[in-house]
Amino acid sequence: MGEEVQVREKDVLGRVIKDLSNTEWWGIPRKEIPWYPQVDYEKCIGCGLCFMTCGRVVYDWDLKQMRPIVARPYNCLVGCSTCANLCPREAINFPSLEVLRKYRDLGKAVVKARKRLKELRQRLFKHDNGI
Ligand code: SF4
Ligand code: SF4
């Protein structure tokens, strides 16, 4: 949060590629959290939905093999599993929810989220009352 995000280049769809691997997630360096997709190429039919729908440009597309490549695993939003949910062949795997919750607790995400919202509420309340 507040980290410098490098813009590298554009992908074959013209989408801007950012490197989010040096960011933090609730104070934990992103690269220390093993949350990213793994594609089972035995099951994948090369439909392209994962590549086209990921808003973080985690995937590149192999135009020769017509298959997705997990090119930027640490761009994946921790906790997101949209591509896996949409895949028609259930060819995308993620770590278990236990792993996700372990990092949630390690980063004290619940406590921090509540604290931030309380602070925001206090600030807005003061503002509304002209304090
Ligand atoms: S959505 Fe699933 S089947 Fe389609 S390209 Fe991605 S991994 Fe393969
Ligand atoms: S889980 Fe979400 S952010 Fe991660 S690769 Fe899939 S669609 Fe992109």
Question: For residues 58 and 66, is the Cβ–Cβ distance under 8 A?
Answer: no
Distance 131 CA to ligand 1 centre (A): 54
Assess if residue 38 is contained within a domain: yes
Asked if residue 116 belongs to a domain, the reply is no
Mutate which of 92, 93, 94 for ligand 1? The one with the most ligand atoms within 8 Å of its CB, which is 92
> For the chain (length 131 residues), average pLDDT per consecutive 10?
65 94 98 98 98 97 97 98 98 98 98 97 81 59
Cβ-contact 48, 11 below 8 angstroms? no
What's the CA-to-centroid distance between 13 and ligand 1, angstroms?
Answer: 17
Site of tokens 């597309």:
61
- The pLDDT of residue 2 is 47
Q: What is the pLDDT of residue 1?
A: 45
Q: Domain tally for the chain?
A: 1
Domain membership flag for residue 60: yes
Burial class for 13, CB neighbours closer than 10 Å (0-12, 13-18, 19+):
exposed
Residue 111 lies in a domain: no
Check residue 7 and give its pLDDT. 65
Locate tokens 């939905």: which residue? 49
- The angle that helices 109-128 and 97-106 make with each other, rounded to 10 degrees, is 60
Q: What does the pLDDT read at residue 36?
A: 98
Residue 39 domain flag: yes
Q: Give the predicted TM-score (pTM) of the model.
A: 0.89
